[in-house]
Amino acid sequence: MKVIKRDGRAVEYNSEKICIAIEKANKEVTEEKRATNEEIEKIVKYIETLDKKRILVEDIQDIIEQKLMELGKYDLAKKYIVYRYTRALVRKQNTTDESILGLIKNINNMVDSEKETPMIASVQRNLIAGEVSKDLTKRILLPEKINKAHEEGILYFHATEYFLQPIIDSCLVNIEDMLDNGTCIRGQEIHQPEDFIMACFILTQIITNVANGQYGKQYINIKYLGKYLGKSYEKINLELSEIKESEQIEKFIENRLKSEIEEGIQFINYEINGLITIYEKTPIITLILELDDEDEYYEENAVIIKEILRQRAQLLEKTAKKENSLPKLICNFKGNNQEIMSTLMELAKKCNCVINQKNTEKYQYEGYFSQGTVSINLPQISLEVGDNINEFWNILDERLEICYEALMCRHYALLGTISDVSPIHWQNGAIARLKKGEKIDKLLKDGYSALSLGYVGLNCAVQLLGAKFDWNNNDKEIFMNKILKYLEDRTQKWRKMTGIRFIVERIVDTSANFRLYKIDKNIYGKTLDLLDYDFYKD
């Protein structure tokens, strides 16, 4: 039997520890009120006869209290409760202290050394703040039920290091509004740009400041730069209006524009790749390369997208820079010009872009944002299913209810937030144009934003069931689709019930995937021997 500790670790059951804890309480009462060795042995045997594969340490303590009360050892039970409470206080005082000191000494094993450099003071400052937030989230902000579910790997409550703050997860930045109508960055009024280069510069400033007011991804639609390439053409044309030979003018304009496009896109690439936010992290950015022949600036945007893809292909070819450290590119091309379509598609494939995907179902329009994500661990449900497949749906039902409660915690944490918390988001156009001091509550309902129910390990869950029930590939595919439909149907019910939009999305988060896999591996051992945590990504 595995005992799940408060920090999520799974250790072997040890009956001696139960005996020691009761004996310590025994010493605090008179002899006639103590539990005898035989009575202690009965309590130990009762716990062992439960025949559980895993048990929370808190559940063991609950059973001890209950059994002492049944034996009529009321004073002893009180002393045990006091002992337990005192130990809990000590842990609560020391947990954060130890993790913070570990960060300072560079011995905190929760830090991924490939992603963070904890010895750098500025990075340590961010990580220390995160540890404090995690501690307060666990002890005070989240209900015990949600904490237990997170510790047991039933669900993954994302970004606990930021839950203390009233900030959002991610958004599709309303670049069109911010460029066309101006914005304000760190108290400085920014007016509509006069040309392409200035639009590119303002775009990078927006990206940096949006990243400082949220913790997740931001999506940027490049199509709104086309208008400003048109402005550059008009500006150059006006400068050269005195030249009489039209062919000479057009050729000169073409060369100037080509140079400006290359310089502008290069500036965006260099700035994004070198940007560091106040969290000492590079902003997580997805560039949406959208082209539609109904767009007024179709030709301008085709040229811009071509240059973005050309520079990306060149960067991947000439440098050893990891592709996953660069902004993700999503391409959505529509048009009748086969020559342009063919050129762009060829370049997109070279860059390993996500091709012909819309802004994603999650982000339907500029200013749309995510309130936060909670993910359900699907493989663990399959591992707990016995001989009846109906057990899967029963367990899934129970766990979806916990996920719903956890998601609503994220919603309630944002309710009452005033726009002054992040002016770039709420007052200056990235999401909205609210007044100073105005609450963001109206943006949390009626589909303007969403709560995300993530799922981890769908393919792995079905493979585990397939091995148990001897399914063929067709059976597995059918069951996989049933699970997805079940999740979609459940989130639709939640929306009708609350007026809040819920979405279902596959989660590929290394920290979440690995943590859930590790918890399940500790509990189920041999069952997962043939799998590695990559299966939790599918």
Q: Do 390 and 284 belong to one domain? A: no
Print burial letters for 354-385: b (CB count within 10 Å at least 16), e (below 16). Answer: ebeeebbebbbebbbbbbbbbbbbbbbbbbeb
Q: Which helix (H) or strand (E) holds 292?
A: strand 285-292
* pLDDT for res 115: 45
Range in 53-57, 297-301, 320-324, 346-350 the model is least confident about: 320-324
* Residue-averaged pLDDT of the chain: 85
- Residue 25 is predicted with a pLDDT of 86
**Which among 374, 362, 405 has a CA at the least distance from the CA of 503?**
362
Q: Per-residue pLDDT for 496 more than 90? A: yes
Residue 123: inside a domain, yes or no?
Answer: yes
Q: Work out the number of other CB atoms within 10 angstroms of the CB of residue 386.
A: 9
Same structural domain for residues 344 and 380?
no
Clarify whether residues 249 and 109 are in a common domain.
no
Residue 488 in domain: yes
**∠ at Cα 221 (220, 224), nearest 5°?**
125
pLDDT above 70 for 525: yes
- Residue 533 or 441, more confident: 441
Using one digit for the tens of pLDDT, what is the confidence trace for 145-174?
899 999 999 999 999 989 988 999 999 999
Together in a domain, 351 and 390: no
Parallel/antiparallel/unpaired status of strands 170-172 and 54-56: unpaired
95 and 231 share one domain: no
Q: Would you say residue 289 has pLDDT above 80? A: yes
The separation between the first and the last C-alpha atoms of the chain, rounded to the nearest angstrom, is: 29
Least confident span in 195-199, 220-224, 530-534: 530-534
Please indicate, yes or no, whether the overall pTM of this predicted structure exceeds 0.75: yes
pLDDT band of 388, cuts 50, 70, 90: very high
Query: Kind and range of the H or E element at 64?
Result: helix 57-70
Pair (375, 503) in one structural domain? yes
Which residue stretches of 246-321 are H helix?
246-274, 298-318
Q: Which of 126, 141, 156 is the last residue of a domain?
A: 141
Q: When comparing pLDDT for 89 and 303, which is higher?
A: 303
Q: Strand 10-12: give its sheet, edge to edge.
A: 10-12, 2-4, 54-56
Question: What is residue 466's predicted lDDT score, i.e. its pLDDT?
Answer: 94
Percent of the chain with pLDDT over 90: 50
71 with 105, same domain: the answer is: yes
What pLDDT is recorded for position 297? Answer: 95
Q: State whether 320 and 434 are in the same domain.
A: no
pLDDT band at 451 (very low <50, low <70, confident <90, very high): very high
If asked whether residues 401 and 475 sit together in one domain, one would say: yes
pLDDT of residue 532: 60
148 within some domain: no
Based on the fold, state whether residues 6 and 130 are members of the same structural domain: yes
Last residue of a domain, one of 87, 119, 141: 141
In the structure, what pLDDT confidence band is assigned to residue 206 with cuts at 50, 70 and 90?
A: very high
Would you state the pLDDT for residue 511? 86
> Are 110 and 81 found together in one domain?
yes
pLDDT of residue 62: 86
Residue 106's pLDDT is 52
pLDDT at 177: 96
* 276 is a domain residue: yes
Cβ-count burial 12-40 (b if 16+ within 10 Å, e if not): eeeeeebbebbeebbeebeeeebbeeebb
What lies within 8 Å, CB to CB, of 263 at 6+ separation is 197
> How many separate domains does the chain show?
3
Q: Using the predicted structure, report yes or no on whether residue 367 has a pLDDT greater than 60.
A: yes
Please report the pLDDT score of residue 267 as a whole number: 87
- What integer pLDDT is reported at residue 269 of this predicted model? 84
Q: What's the pLDDT band for 299 if we cut at 50, 70, 90?
A: very high
Choose one of 300, 320, 355: the last residue of a domain: 355
For the ranges 43-52, 129-138, 259-268, the lowest mean pLDDT is seen at 129-138
Q: Are 229 and 303 in contact (CB under 8 A)?
A: yes
Query: Which whole number is the average pLDDT over 271-287?
Result: 70
Q: What SS3 class is residue 184? A: strand
357 or 455: which leads in pLDDT: 455
Task: Report pLDDT for 109.
Answer: 47
Report the range of poorest mean pLDDT among 115-124, 176-185, 274-283, 489-498: 115-124
Q: What pLDDT does residue 236 have?
A: 86
163 assigned to some structural domain: no
What's the rounded Cα separation, in Å, for the pair 388 and 391? 6
Q: Which domain holds residue 377?
A: 369-537
The dihedrals phi and psi of 3, each to the nearest 5 degrees, come to -105, 125
| Residue 255 within a domain | yes
Which DSSP symbol is given to 439?
Answer: B
Q: Which tokens sit at 64? A: 């001890």
**Per-residue confidence (pLDDT) for residue 246, from 0 to 100:** 62
Question: Do 132 and 183 share a domain, yes or no?
Answer: no
Q: How confident is the model at residue 276 (pLDDT cuts 50, 70, 90)?
A: low
